[in-house]
Structure 1
Amino acid sequence: MKSSVITKVVENDLCIGCGLCVALCPHGVLSMRWNHYGEYNPVEVTPCTMECGLCLGVCPFTNPEENEDTIGRELYGGVSGIHHRSETGYYLASYVGYSENYRLTSASGGMATWILEALLSENVIDRVVCVIPTGDSKRLFDFQIFDTQDGVCTGAGSAYYPVEMSRVIRQILEVPGRYAITGLPCFLKAIRLAQKQNKKLRERVVITVGLTCGQLKSRHFTDYIASLAGVKEEVMAVCCRGKSSDHPASNFHYTFITADCREQRIFWEEGIAEAWTNRWFTLNACNYCDDVFAECADVTCMDAWLPDYSRDSRGTSLVLVRSPKVQSVIERGEGVCLDHISVDQVVKSQGGVLTVKWEHLAYRLNLYCKKGKKIPKKRVEPKSEGNPILRREVFLKEKMRTESREVWSNNAIDAERLQEIMRPYLWQLTAGRQISKIITFSIRILQYIQGKIRGEYHG
């Protein structure tokens, strides 16, 4: 049997849906389509007879020779003043702050939008590739190419929704120019792998802007949240990160706009958090990701999830820079309020995601190996988890991930029914956490008593 992105990636449920394989296929036999689970996958529209292997070479989850360390070293290892740590990859500098113009219309502090605008205005790039709303109910968001600052502004905000890059990558290959691309860690890794294979892409994509990522959701996640919000009509648009002055930045809201022009809103703490943190509708490929900080990107932007900033409803950005060219633009920047911040604080801001992508990943890899699943080579080694409560938590979240995916796809149920199905798993999670707290408290009490006894003995 031939080895292709279909047989090795899609059939093993390892596809993240980036679309680079489709864009670079020299024979045009692939196309991106929605699968049964509301995820993008490549499909063969005509039989592949050449078996050139290019589709596998650009896949971010199957190339065993390249990872974020090797790619990062080649890109940034020789940069003067560069630093490296395992969590972030390479970095030159780190900042905290916001854009005065884009703060309120962006997901966090608006720095990603400001950086793209500044790159355009300073003639570092000619065009920007970013995700924007489409107004199409069957595909709510998509990548688009812009050459004006007004166009870039339409891409402000987050899109917790599947998108794929095949069309815009083909446009880049057809139209000369200097491009900046925004993307999630796995998408930018795919672009870096593709640049090794394609000279035009290597020359034309001159800046990559990364966004930190915990997981990618299927489009059924948006359907679920809409149902949870009480939306009955067809959804034509959604804002995934709305801000309210009477809520902290962490309690953002979704706003759905329906075909009859009605708006309905639901906040993070009203049920979105439950589905997000318990990995409902998460793609299986995300189970194998060990990159939090988009280590292949020239600059990475993220929320400042730190006590000093997260209570500000307007949002605040953290910026991790790897490219001297981008750093120069930031240092010259006007209309931004930025301070230097230690990389330790940057790492701390994403502590929860790091736990999932490093500690939990080690156990997931071990679990999947035992089940005989095909797993990609990662920088984290498979390891048996010694803590039975944590082991149970990882197991339960994986059950919820797979069951939400299957149940919603097969039955087209509503939010209330899915919550009912998930309730036993949530009860078990809560019980495990309570037991863990009791054990931790008991250990601390015991250590305190032992310390007192030792102190009295020595006294």
Structure 2
Amino acid sequence: MKPNVIDEIVKNDLCIGCGTCAGLCPQKILKIQDNEYGEYVSSETKACDSGCGLCLEVCPFSNNENETQMGAKIYGSTEGMKYLPETGYYLDSYAGYSNEFRQSSASGGMATWLLTNLLKEGIVDYVICPSPQKNPEKLFSFEILSDENSVKAASGSVYYPVEMSEVIQKIMEVPGRYAITGLPCFIKALRLAAQKNRKLRERIVFTIGLVCGQMKSKNYTRYIAALAGNNSLNKIQSVYYRGKSPEKPASNFYFQSTDVHGSQHKIFWNEGVSEAWVNRWFTPNACNYCDDVFAELADVTFMDAWLPEYSKDSRGTNLMLVRLPKILAYIQKGVEKKEIKVSEISVEKVIQSQAGVLDVKREQLSYRLNLARQKKRKTLEKRVKTRSDIGILKKREVRLKIRMQEESKELFLEYYQNYTLDIKTFRDRMHPYIKQTRQLRLLGRFAFLICTIKKISKVEGKKDE
């Protein structure tokens, strides 16, 4: 019998809960459900006796082909295609926004513009993306949408677990042309599944990727809602993760939750949201072993324009990496019709905009792999080499964030009772870690200052010779 996803992935805490295995399981014995930490994971309804191994072959966190190998097969022969290790394959890179959807979207509204236009012009029959559900236990899920208004209603970033098992089954049951949005690991899973299933290969005609630094559990949303002042977490009907305020830069967006009574609770990024996000609280373990920043297997990838020339604009701007000539043609048509404003931007600028994520998923990943192997944990074959020489401060940062990642999950369980979180005690228990991160930042700045002084002294010394 071939190894399966439960033994190789789930039992080693490497499941991201994408649902691809459950969607394709020939015996239909796999399902996706919450674990105690509010993360989706695959589980068996009964013991597998077929041993087909298909579930592991379509898992994005199994040791199958990597994104570079798969990208070469999908895009490598396209005329004008370029390649960089950071971005994978790409044709062109752009910065821009949609005139219609900019204000209602997390960034520039370009993904919403593209998806609604694909429907409007009859290029696709269905769009699949995360949509709000108004259910405190399941605030978002992947939905198959066939009209523009539904796509508009689903616009905005979603930092909440969703899974694809049901929509994958529906794609195989219902003929049509589908466009689907997803994070890097989800897009990879779909590409692996398409290699094994002809219907998926023929019916998924566009993949739209989003840059991802990490996923979050359901408990992340509960924590941020409690931090914003919502004390009845079972009454939350909807959340919005990326609200914009005209008086604040795009980087200082707000989270807002609305309960059954219509009461709203709001908190800005700089008021505590960033603390949980940057320090990897409530992040699934699988995210520690991802090296794909730019959704390298998507036909087009959208991201925030985290660059000085764009980030101060509260309205938001998208950066885009395009890999499919048809997408390029749609963008050019949108510019001509004045529906979008787009300009070319160097790929170096695109890479610069995601420098922090690249550091986490490449250099820091190399050290996380080293730590995992020291602890004799199952690790994955990644495109970065295992290293222990990434610098004393960075090594300390990686170890500290792993500890916070683990502690945040356990402490939430300890202080979450009857749909209420004891937010003060939780934060008091996490405070020593936050204090250490601040000390690390100060040490980092001091070390940078010393290096700069040394460089200046060296240059001045040469001038005096």
Q: Which runs of 5+ in 1 are unaligned?
A: none
Partner of 2:385: 381
Aligned length: 456
State the secondary structure of the residue aligned to 1:308: helix
Give the conservation status (yes or no) of the 8 Å contact 1:253–1:265.
yes
2:415–2:425: 8 Å Cα contact kept in structure 1? no
Q: How far apart, CA to CA, are the structure 1 residues paired with 2:250 and 2:460?
A: 43
Given that residues 140 and 236 in structure 1 are in contact (C-alpha distance below 8 angstroms), is that contact kept between their aligned partners in structure 2? yes
Distance in 1 of aligned mates of 2:2 and 2:212? 33
| In structure 2, C-alpha distance between the alignment counterparts of 1:404 and 1:2, rounded to whole Å | 36
TM-score for the superposition, normalised by structure 2: 0.96
The whole-number CA distance in structure 2 between the counterparts of 1:359 and 1:73 is 23
Deviates more, 1:69-78 or 1:384-393: 384-393
- How far has the Cα of 1:386 moved from its partner? 4.2
Report the CA distance shift for 1:92/1:447 in structure 2 as closer, same or farther (over 3 A).
Answer: closer
Matches of 2:314 and 2:390, distance apart in 1 = 40
The residue number in structure 2 matching 1:97 is 96
Q: Distance in 1 between matches of 2:132 and 2:35?
A: 21
Structure-1 residue corresponding to 2:85: 86
Q: Which residue number corresponds to residue 391 of structure 1?
A: 395
Contact 1:208/1:298 (<8 A) preserved: yes
1:15 maps to which residue? 15
CA shift, 1:442, in A, is 2.2
Cα offset, 1:97, TM superposition = 0.9
Counterpart amino acid of residue 306 in structure 1: L
Rounded to whole Å, the distance in 1 between the matches of 2:292 and 2:25 is 26
Deviations 1:398-447 (A, max 9, x none): 10001101221244243222221111112122212212222322232233
Instruction: Give the residue type in structure 2 aligned to 1:237.
Output: S
SS at the partner of 2:128? Answer: strand
Residues 372-418 of structure 1 show CA distances to partners (whole Å, capped at 9, x for unaligned) of 01011110111003411111011001100011012212442432222
Q: What amino acid is the match of 2:275?
A: E
In the alignment, residue 161 of structure 2 is paired with which amino acid?
A: P
Between 80-89 and 417-426, the greater mean CA deviation after superposition: 417-426
**Where does 1:7-86 land on structure 2 (aligned, <5 Å)?**
7-62=7-62, 64-86=63-85
Report the AA paired with residue 342 of structure 2.
L
User: Does the 8 Å CA contact 2:2/2:53 hold for their aligned counterparts?
Assistant: no
Distance between the aligned counterparts of 2:343 and 2:453, measured in 1?
41
TM-score by length of 1: 0.97
- 1:243-262 equivalences under 5 Å are 243-262=244-263
One-letter identity of the residue aligned with 1:364: R
| Aligned mates of 1:229, 1:119 — CA distance in 2 | 37
- Structure 1 counterpart of 2:450: 442
> Partner of 1:107: helix, strand, or coil?
coil
Provide closer, same or farther for how the CA distance between residues 451 and 318 of structure 1 changes in structure 2, counting only shifts above 3 A.
Answer: closer
Shift, 1:67, TM fit: 0.9
Whole-angstrom CA distance in 2 between matches of 1:451 and 1:321 = 43
* C-alpha distance 450-319 of structure 1, shift in aligned 2 (>3 A): closer
| Deviating more after overlay: 73-82 vs 439-448 | 439-448
Amino acid at match of 1:359: E
Please list, as runs of the form range in 1=range in 2, the aligned pairs for 1:359-370 lying within 5 A after superposition: 359-370=363-374
Q: Distance in 2 between matches of 1:231 and 1:365?
A: 38
Q: Do the aligned partners of 1:58 and 1:190 also contact (CA within 8 Å) in 2?
A: yes
Task: Select 1:346's aligned residue among 343, 350, 353.
Answer: 350
* Preserved contact between residue 415 and residue 426 of structure 2 (Cα < 8 Å): no
Q: Secondary structure at 2:237's aligned position in 1?
A: strand
Aligned twin of 1:283:
284
Once residues 156 and 267 of structure 1 are traced to their aligned partners in structure 2, the CA distance between those partners, rounded to angstroms, is 20
Say whether the 8 Å CA contact 1:225–1:415 is kept in structure 2: no
Distance 1:337 1:448 in 2: 43
Q: What secondary structure does 2:133 align onto?
A: strand
Deviations 1:110-150 (A, max 9, x none): 00011111212222211100111101111000111111111
Q: List per-residue Cα deviations over 1:197-238 (Å, max 9, x = no partner).
A: 100000000100001100000000001101101101221110
Q: Is the 8 A contact 1:228 1:416 kept in 2?
A: no
CA distance in 1, matches of 2:153, 2:422: 31
Cα distance in 2 for residues equivalent to 1:2 and 1:73: 27
What is the rounded CA distance, in whole Å, between the counterparts of 1:368 and 1:150 in structure 2? 46
Q: Distance in 2 between matches of 1:258 and 1:202?
A: 41
Contact 1:224 1:414 in 2 (8 A): no
Cα gap change, 1:386/1:70 in structure 2, threshold over 3 Å: closer, same or farther?
Answer: closer
Q: Report the RMSD for the aligned CA atoms in angstroms.
A: 1.2
Please name the residue that 1:415 is paired with.
423
- Which residue pairs with 1:430 in the alignment? 438
Q: Does the residue aligned with 1:206 lie in a helix, a strand or coil?
A: strand
Q: Does 1:129 align with 2:134?
A: no
Q: Which amino acid aligns with 1:436?
A: G
- Is 1:158 paired with 2:157? yes
Structure 1 residue 259: deviation in Å? 1.8
- Comparing 415-424 with 438-447, which one deviates more in the overlay? 438-447
CA distance in 2, matches of 1:52, 1:347: 40
SS at match of 1:136: coil
Residue 316 of structure 1 is matched in structure 2 by 317
Aligned-pair identity (%):
50
